[in-house]
Every structure is written in C-alpha cells, then in structure tokens.
Amino acid sequence: MSNGYDLSASQFSPEGRVFQVEYAAKAVERSGTSIGLRGGDGVVLAVEKLVNSPLFENDSGRRIFTVDTNIGMAVAGLTADGYALADIARQEAANHRQQFGSPITVNHMCERISAYMHAYTLFGSARPFGVSITLGGWDEIFGAQLFKIEPSGKSFGYFACASGKGEQQAKTEMEKYKFVDMPLENLVQSAGRIIQLAHNEAKDKGFCFEMGLVGKDTAGLHCINPEPWLSLAVQAGLEALHEEDEDSDD
C-alpha cells in the first residue's frame, strides 16, 4: 500500500498522506491509555501504566510530568520521546517567564509544543515524535484548560480526551458524562473509572494508575498522585471493576 512513499517524513504519497506521521500515530496506539478530563475547577490527567514486571518500582516509568507550576503533561506513546518533549515544554515555560515576567498560558504552551512537534514532520533527516501529549492546566483567569497534541503537530482543546490502547473504550465511556461543571472529586473518580474500564485485562496483565491534578483545590499547583484524590480514583476504579464483574455474571 505504501510502496516506497513511507521511507521519510519528507515524502507525500500520491493520495496526499505522509506515512511516517501516520506510523508515529500507530506508536501512540500501542501504548497504555492516557486521558485528560476538564472539570469546573480543575483538570485531571490519568494514565494506565502497563506493568510488564513485578520487578519495577511503583513510581518508575512516570508518564505524567509537571512542566510549569500550574501545567501538567501526560504522555502516550514512546515515553522517551515524551521525556524530551517535557524538557522542551519546561524550557518554553521558563523562557516565557523570563521574557514576559508572567507564566505561560496553557494554550500558548500548546501552540509552542505543536510547532515543535510539527517541525519534526517536515524533514527526511529526523523522525516525528511518536507521542500524543495531553496538556492540562489551571489558572485564575482562564480556569481549567485541556489540550491534546498529536504526532502530526495537530492540536485541539478538549473537554475530555483519550489516547493509547484504550482510546475507543475511554471515549465511549467519556461521552456518557458532562465534565464541564463537575467538581474535582467526581472528576477524579471518573478518571479512575475510565482508566479501569479502558484497561484490557485479557491482553495486558495488571496496570499501575498514575494521576496528575491541578485546580483551585490544589492552590493552582500541579500535583502528581496527590492524596486524598489518588485513593478516591483508585477506589472508583475498583468499584467500576466489580460492577463489570457483576454485569458479566448476570
């Protein structure tokens, strides 16, 4: 099908597709699910960390990063690419603060990262980033903001978004709710539910739940795995699992 037009990102196919970018998206589809939910007064980012081995430490293989005091970033896809982009994001935030004396807004950060990721889709000498970045932030003026950036550099603002293996499952679950005015506790519980339901136990044995949270209740600071919300989310996930078991028993 691709017939030689997929060897570098600098080539179009006759149908007008850039295959390398599409292959990068496939790398995202292979990774553990990551979701973002935007509520009334905060944003929750949650990740299904697929655990290949009980030898791993609990908090390693981190896929959620703090990129500025009030902005968090979740990564789906090649995690190493995600690390590099987290560093770029942090530099952008720092530069903005140094130049303009005030913190970068989430939409500006999104534009800068999109432009950066897009630049890598233009040349044959580099490959595109194999990650989908979910950016979540909160501030006094704009409130809660959620953006997702795809490997092509395309980005959208979302009320709720998902990427990775369980993307379809997660989206189905998300469409049932209206997150826009949801208080933080319910948002966190929904995140726990959605990740649990998007997880495919048959294919991937066991996962570790990781969560990033920023909102009015965290004083505008992005926190990773903060209590008591982490417990709420994990609990909600377990309850969802039991419901599912009960349904399948009937």
Partner 1 sequence: MFNNGIVQPLWYNGPSPGQFYNFPGYANNGNMKQCHETNNSDSTRSTAMITTGSSVLGIKFDQGVLIAADTLVSYGSLSRFQNIDRIFKINDNIIMGGGGDFADIQSIMRSIDQKMIEDQCYADNIAMRPKALATWMTRVLYNRRSRMNPLFIDVVIGGIDENNEPYLANVDLRGRAFSDYVVSTGFARHLALPLVREKKPADRDFTLEEASELIRQCMEVLYYRDTKNSSQYTVGVCKVKDSTSNQCDVEGPFQVDEKWSFAKMVKGY
Measured CA to CA, the distance from residue 106 to residue 232 in angstroms comes to 27
Pattern of binders to partner 1 over 182-221, x per CB under 8 A?
---------------------------------------x
Find the binder of partner 1 among 22, 23, 90, 108 (CB under 8 A): 90
At residue 89, what are phi and psi to the nearest 5 degrees? -60, -40
What order do you get walking across the sheet with 64-68 strand by strand?
Answer: 64-68, 71-77, 131-139, 143-149, 155-157
CB of 213 to partner 1, least distance (A): 12
Q: Is 68 in the site for partner 1 (CB under 8 A)?
A: yes
**Which residue, 198 or 211, has its beta carbon nearer to partner 1?**
211
For partner 1, which stretch binds (CB under 8 A), given 65-73, 75-83, 119-127, 229-237?
65-73
Q: Is 69 in the site for partner 1 (CB under 8 A)?
A: yes
188 contacts 196 by C-beta, under 8 angstroms: no
Q: Is 241 in the site for partner 1 (CB under 8 A)?
A: no
CB of 221 to partner 1, least distance (A): 7
**Which residue, 51 or 224, has its beta carbon nearer to partner 1?**
224
Q: Which of residues 94-133 bind partner 1 (CB under 8 A)?
A: 94, 97-98
What order do you get walking across the sheet with 42-50 strand by strand?
Answer: 160-163, 34-38, 42-50, 207-215, 223-224
CB of 137 to partner 1, least distance (A): 13
Q: Is 134 in the site for partner 1 (CB under 8 A)?
A: no
Q: Is 171 in the site for partner 1 (CB under 8 A)?
A: no
**Which residue, 117 or 214, has its beta carbon nearer to partner 1?**
214
Pattern of binders to partner 1 over 8-47, x per CB under 8 A?
----------------------------------------
For partner 1, which stretch binds (CB under 8 A), given 43-51, 59-67, 150-158, 233-241?
59-67
Measured CA to CA, the distance from residue 219 to residue 172 in angstroms comes to 32
CB of 224 to partner 1, least distance (A): 4
CB of 35 to partner 1, least distance (A): 19
The binding site for partner 1 (CB under 8 A) comprises 62, 65-69, 90, 93-94, 97-98, 221, 223-224
